[in-house]
C-alpha cells in the first residue's frame, strides 16, 4: 500500500493552485468584449445615462460595430447583448451559469427586501417559489384564467369606458390590477378605484423605480450605502424604509383576508387559497405558507397595464391600422357578440398587431438583468464571474437587419405571403414579455391572454380617436414614455374612446347594474331592492323586437347579459320583481321561482357569484 505523506499532499496542492492560477491567467488573457474607454475606478459610470438606457446601449453597440458590449461601473462589470441569438446562446443554452440576478443596492440593502421572486438570486429559495408558481399558475390552468380575464375585461374595462371614457388609464389600471388581485387572493374587486388595487400600483411603481438604474444614485455608486442617514443626499435611506413598510403591508393585508375567508368556510378559487390548501398536509406548513405569501406579491400586473396603454396610444397614432383590425373582427366575430379566445386563430391581422405592439415598444426594453455565477468564454471573449448581463430587448426588436424601418408601426411585417403569421421572425411575444432561460416569466401566459382579449374587445366595441382642444381641433399626440423605470409605459396622453357606430353596447350597462346589485346584497345583507328595480327597468327599456323567443339562448353579449340578470333575480327568489312568466325585450322567458328564505337566497347568490369576481 502506498503511503501518502504530508509532503505529497503539499506538492499536489501546489500543483492544483498553479494549475488554477494558470487557467485563470489564460482566461484573463482573453479579450473582453468591445466597449468604450474606461476610467480607473469609476469605469463607465458617468456615461451610462439615468434614463432610456436601452436606447443608449443600442446606440453604443451600433457605434462600436458590435452586438455585444462591455462596460464597468465602479467595480461592477456589465455585458450588454443587443442580439437575440447571443441572448439565447448564453441565457438559454448556458442557463446554469447565467440564471442568477444581481443585487440591487436600493432594493436589497436600503429597502431590505429579499422577498420579490423575480429579483431573487438563483438558488434553492428561488426554485421553491418557482415550484409554487408552476403548480398553480401553469398553462394547464389557462382556461380558468382566460374565463376570468374575459369577465374583468367585459364587466370592468368595457363598462367603464362607456360610462367615463375620460378616465382611460384609471380603468385600465383597475381592470388589470383587479384581475391580478382576484386571481391571487380571490377577493372581491370594485369596478372603479379599488383601494387595494390603487395601493398595489403605488407600491410597485416605487419598487420598480428602486430597481431601475436611473432612479437612485446608490444603484450606480454602491458605497453610498455607508453614508449616514442624517447627511445631505442620504434621503434615499428614509425613502427605502417607507417603501419597505408599504411592501410589508401589501404582502400581509390581502393574504390575511384570504386566510380569514378560508377559516369562515368561504373558499373562492385563487392562487393563495389553492396553494395553502395544497400545503396543509406538509410537514413544513409554516415555511410553505410564508413562501406562498411572498410569491403572491409577484402576480400584480404592471407590465400588462403598460402594454394596454401602448395599444391605445398606437391606435390613436395609426387610425388605418385600427380600421383594418376592426374590419377583420367584424368579419370573424360578427355584429352581435364579443370576441372569445376561440376566435383568435382566425384573427390574423389582430395577432400581427399584438406582435408589432410588443416589438415597437418592448415593455421591459433593457430586459431584467441576469448575473453570471461562474466565469465563462463566449466568441473568444472573457466573461467574468458576477458579471451583469443585460438582454437589450429594445435593440433586438429594433434591429434594422431583421425589422426594416423599426421605428414605424407595421403589423403587416408579421404576415406571410400566404396570409398567415410569419414564423421566420423573432417572436416579440416571447422576447418582450417572457424573458430568457430559467428566468422566463412564469405568469407571462396570463399577461398575454389579458392583453389579447382586452385589445380584441376594445377594437370590437370602440373607436379610438384624437381628443379635441377648446377650439374643436384634434390634439396632436407625440409618443413619449416613462424615462426611469424597468417598464416602458406611455406618459399620459389625451384621446377619445367612443362606441362604434351601430354597436349595441347596452350590454355593458347591464353588467354594470348586475355588479351594483351584487355590491348592495353583500354590503347590506338584505334584498337590494333599488338595484334590482334598476335591472328590471333597464331590461324592459332596451326592447328589441327582433329577439324571438326561439333565439333567446343564442350566444350574444346582450342575451348573455339578460340571462345573467335573470339568473341573478331567480337566485334572489324575490317575487315582487319577477313573475313566473316574464316578458323582457319582446322575449317570453319562463322559469320557476324557488321558494327560499332570505338567508338561503343570499347563500344561493353567493354560490352563483362564486365564478363572478368583479363587484
Which residues have a Cβ under 8 Å from the Cβ of 484 and sit 6 or more positions away? 50, 51, 209, 212, 214, 215
User: At CA 585, angle to CA 522 and CA 565, rounded to 5?
Assistant: 15
Residue 363 DSSP label? S
Longest CA pairwise span in the chain (Å): 103
Q: Which helix (H) or strand (E) holds 150?
A: helix 142-152
User: With the C-alpha atoms ordered 575, 579, 580, 582, is the resulting torsion angle positive or negative?
Assistant: negative
What is the DSSP secondary-structure string of 244-278? HHHHHHHHHHHHHHHHHHHHTT-----HHHHHHHH
Q: How many CA atoms lie within 13 A of 95 on its CB side?
A: 11
Residue 102 C-alpha cell reads as: 444581481
Q: How far apart are CA 213 and CA 73, in angstroms?
A: 11
Could you tell me how many residues make up the chain?
A: 615
Residue 611 C-alpha cell reads as: 365564478
Q: Is 441 left (phi over 0), alpha (psi -120 to 50) or beta?
A: beta
Residue 525 DSSP label? S
Burial call 499-522: b when 16+ CB within 10 Å, e when fewer: beeeeebbbbbbbbbbbbbbebbe
Does 571 belong to an annotated binding site? no
Burial group, residue 7, by CB count within 10 angstroms (0-12, 13-18, 19+): exposed
Residue among 169, 489, 55 nearest 310 (CA): 489
Q: Write phi, then psi, for 39 (nearest 5 degrees).
A: -80, 150
Q: How far apart are CA 548 and CA 556, in angstroms?
A: 13
Beta bridge partners of 391: 81
In the block, cell 398553462 appears at: 139
Q: Write phi, then psi, for 300 (nearest 5 degrees).
A: -55, 140
CB atoms within 10 A of CB 345: 10
Q: How far apart are CA 181 and CA 394, in angstroms?
A: 30
Bridge-based pairing state of the strands 370-371 and 68-73: unpaired
| 90, 175, 396, 402, 519 from 95: Cα distances, Å | 7, 35, 19, 25, 49
Q: How far apart are CA 429 and CA 397, in angstroms?
A: 11
Q: How far apart are CA 328 and CA 324, in angstroms?
A: 6
* DSSP three-state, residue 279: helix
8 A C-beta contact, residue 572 and residue 554: no
What are the binding residues for heme?
441
What are the binding residues?
441
Amino acid at each position: 500500500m502506498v503511503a501518502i505523506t504530508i509532503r505529497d499532499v503539499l506538492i499536489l496542492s501546489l500543483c492544483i493552485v498553479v494549475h488554477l492560477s494558470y487557467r485563470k491567467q489564460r482566461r484573463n488573457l482573453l479579450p473582453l468584449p468591445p466597449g468604450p474607454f474606461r476610467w480607473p475606478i469609476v469605469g463607465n459610470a458617468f456615461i451610462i445615462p439615468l434614463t432610456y438606457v436601452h436606447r443608449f446601449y443600442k446606440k453604443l453597440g451600433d457605434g462600436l460595430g458590435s452586438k455585444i458590449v462591455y462596460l464597468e461601473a465602479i467595480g461592477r462589470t456589465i455585458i450588454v447583448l443587443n442580439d437575440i441569438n447571443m441572448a439565447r446562446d448564453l441565457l438559454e443554452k448556458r442557463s446554469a451559469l447565467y440564471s442568477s440576478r444581481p443585487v440591487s443596492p436600493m432594493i436589497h440593502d436600503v429597502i431590505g427586501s429579499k422577498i420579490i421572486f423575480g429579483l431573487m438570486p438563483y438558488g434553492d429559495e428561488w426554485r421553491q417559489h418557482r415550484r409554487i408558481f408552476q403548480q398553480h399558475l401553469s398553462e394547464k390552468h389557462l382556461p380558468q384564467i382566460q374565463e376570468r380575464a374575459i369577465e374583468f375585461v367585459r364587466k370592468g374595462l368595457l363598462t367603464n369606458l362607456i360610462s367615463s371614457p375620460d378616465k382611460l388609464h384609471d380603468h385600465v389600471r383597475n381592470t388589470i390590477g383587479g384581475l391580478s388581485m382576484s386571481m391571487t387572493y380571490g377577493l372581491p374587486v370594485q369596478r372603479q378605484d379599488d383601494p387595494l388595487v390603487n395601493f398595489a400600483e403605488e407600491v410597485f411603481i416605487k419598487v420598480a423605480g428602486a430597481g431601475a438604474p436611473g432612479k437612485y444614485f446608490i444603484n450606480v455608486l454602491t458605497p453610498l450605502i455607508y453614508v449616514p442617514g442624517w447627511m445631505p443626499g442620504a434621503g434615499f435611506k428614509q425613502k427605502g424604509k417607507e417603501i419597505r413598510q408599504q411592501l410589508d403591508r401589501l404582502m400581509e393585508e390581502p393574504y390575511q383576508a384570504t386566510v380569514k375567508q378560508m377559516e369562515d368556510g368561504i373558499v373562492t378559487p385563487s392562487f393563495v387559497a389553492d396553494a395553502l390548501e395544497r400545503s396543509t398536509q406538509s410537514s413544513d406548513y409554516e415555511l410553505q405558507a410564508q413562501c406562498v405569501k411572498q410569491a403572491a406579491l409577484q402576480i400584480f400586473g404592471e407590465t400588462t397595464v403598460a402594454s394596454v396603454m401602448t395599444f391605445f396610444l398606437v391606435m390613436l397614432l395609426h387610425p388605418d391600422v385600427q380600421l383594418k383590425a376592426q374590419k377583420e373582427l367584424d368579419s370573424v366575430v360578427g355584429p352581435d357578440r364579443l370576441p372569445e379566445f376561440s376566435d383568435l386563430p382566425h384573427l390574423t391581422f389582430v395577432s400581427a398587431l399584438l406582435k408589432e405592439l410588443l416589438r415597437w415598444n418592448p415593455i421591459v426594453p433593457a430586459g431584467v438583468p441576469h448575473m453570471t455565477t461562474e466565469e465563462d468564454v463566449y466568441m473568444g471573449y472573457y466573461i467574468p464571474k458576477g458579471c451583469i448581463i443585460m438582454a437589450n430587448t429594445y435593440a433586438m426588436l429594433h434591429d434594422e437587419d431583421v425589422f426594416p424601418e423599426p421605428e414605424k408601426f407595421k403589423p403587416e411585417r408579421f404576415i406571410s405571403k400566404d396570409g398567415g403569421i410569419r414564423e421566420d421572425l423573432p417572436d416579440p411575444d416571447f422576447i418582450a414579455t417572457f424573458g430568457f432561460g430559467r428566468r422566463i416569466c412564469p405568469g407571462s401566459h396570463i399577461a398575454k391572454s389579458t392583453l389579447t382579449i382586452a385589445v380584441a374587445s376594445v377594437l370590437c366595441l370602440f373607436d379610438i380617436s384624437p381628443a379635441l382642444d377648446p377650439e374643436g381641433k384634434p390634439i396632436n399626440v407625440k409618443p413619449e414614455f416613462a424615462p426611469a423605470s424597468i417598464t416602458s409605459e406611455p406618459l399620459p396622453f389625451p384621446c377619445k374612446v367612443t362606441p362604434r357606430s351601430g354597436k349595441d353596447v347596452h350590454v355593458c350597462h347591464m353588467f354594470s347594474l348586475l355588479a351594483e346589485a351584487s355590491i348592495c346584497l353583500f354590503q347590506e345583507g338584505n334584498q337590494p331592492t333599488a338595484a334590482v328595480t334598476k335591472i328590471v327597468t333597464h331590461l324592459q327599456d332596451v326592447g328589441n323586437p327582433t329577439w324571438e323567443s326561439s333565439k333567446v339562448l343564442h350566444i350574444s353579449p346582450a342575451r348573455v347579459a339578460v340571462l345573467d340578470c335573470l339568473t341573478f333575480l331567480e337566485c334572489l327568489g324575490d317575487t315582487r320583481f319577477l313573475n313566473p312568466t316574464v316578458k323582457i325585450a319582446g322575449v317570453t322567458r319562463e322559469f320557476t321561482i324557488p321558494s327560499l328564505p332570505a338567508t338561503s337566497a343570499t347563500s344561493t347568490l353567493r354560490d352563483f357569484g362564486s365564478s363572478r369576481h368583479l363587484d
